Chain A
């Protein structure tokens, strides 16, 4: 079935530390995996995505890794800042639709 599991549900880090959020998916045919950041009361914003033909993608302090064999992908945020505090959603493409993970509340303490 269509399922995306996301862990942890909440994550607190000290400013400057790294944060890692992990997701697993169930359909080996999935080939597109975006990550969205959603601040309170605002729209989900795409922060990075990865396609199945690559294993890693990086954009400044944000990186995503994909392990197709194990069917899991992870978001890495380095040198975290207070403005990184938000809810982060992973998603996987199943057929024509995105299925989202349950979200991770990231709190960066200054």
Chain B
């Protein structure tokens, strides 16, 4: 059974039209991450939540926001998607930050921009 669930698997939006991607987890992990992965590249961390504490990467554009209303759910909001934001978006979780716990990934949402 999937433990990190991302919906939808494929998302198409229009240039400039806000879009929200969702992630849920059944692992009760404290940390949830959002990564952007472009074709033939490594996953790139956008931000993470440790419990309710939000941590943004320095080079994440302001266009990207996140919400974590409870332990199980985390959302990625792209306020005004540009063509360069077309990518696979991966959610991951880990039990904790300090204990070097493995990160478990969801299947990702592939975002296309028209």
B102 with A100: CB separation less than 8 A: no
Name the residue of chain B whose CB is nearest to the CB of A98: B103
B102 with A46: CB separation less than 8 A: yes
Query: Which of B42, B50, B90 touches A43 (beta carbons < 8 Å)?
Result: B90
Q: Does A69 contact B (CB under 8 A)?
A: no
With a CB–CB cut-off of 8 A, which chain A residues contact B19? none
Q: Classify the secondary structure of B's interface with A.
A: loop
B42 with A101: CB separation less than 8 A: yes
B42 with A32: CB separation less than 8 A: no
Q: How far is the CB of B34 from chain A (nearest CB, A)?
A: 12
B42 with A102: CB separation less than 8 A: yes
B43 with A44: CB separation less than 8 A: yes
With a CB–CB cut-off of 8 A, which chain A residues contact B105? 36, 43-45
Interface mask (A44-72 → B, CB under 8 Å = 1, otherwise 0): 11100101000000000000000000000
Name the residue of chain A whose CB is nearest to the CB of B4: A43
B103 with A34: CB separation less than 8 A: yes
Cα–Cα distance between A46 and B104 once the two chains are bound (Å)? 7
B103 with A46: CB separation less than 8 A: yes
Q: Does B114 contact A (CB under 8 A)?
A: no
Query: Which of B43, B100, B108 touches A89 (beta carbons < 8 Å)?
Result: B43
B55 with A44: CB separation less than 8 A: no
Q: Does B48 contact A (CB under 8 A)?
A: yes
Using CB atoms and an 8 Å cutoff, list the residues of chain B in contact with chain A: 40-45, 48, 50, 55, 57, 90, 97, 100, 102-108, 110
Top 3 closest A-B pairs, CB basis?
A: A100-B42, A32-B100, A43-B105
Using CB atoms and an 8 Å cutoff, list the residues of chain A in contact with chain B: 31-32, 34, 36, 41-46, 49, 51, 89, 93, 96-103
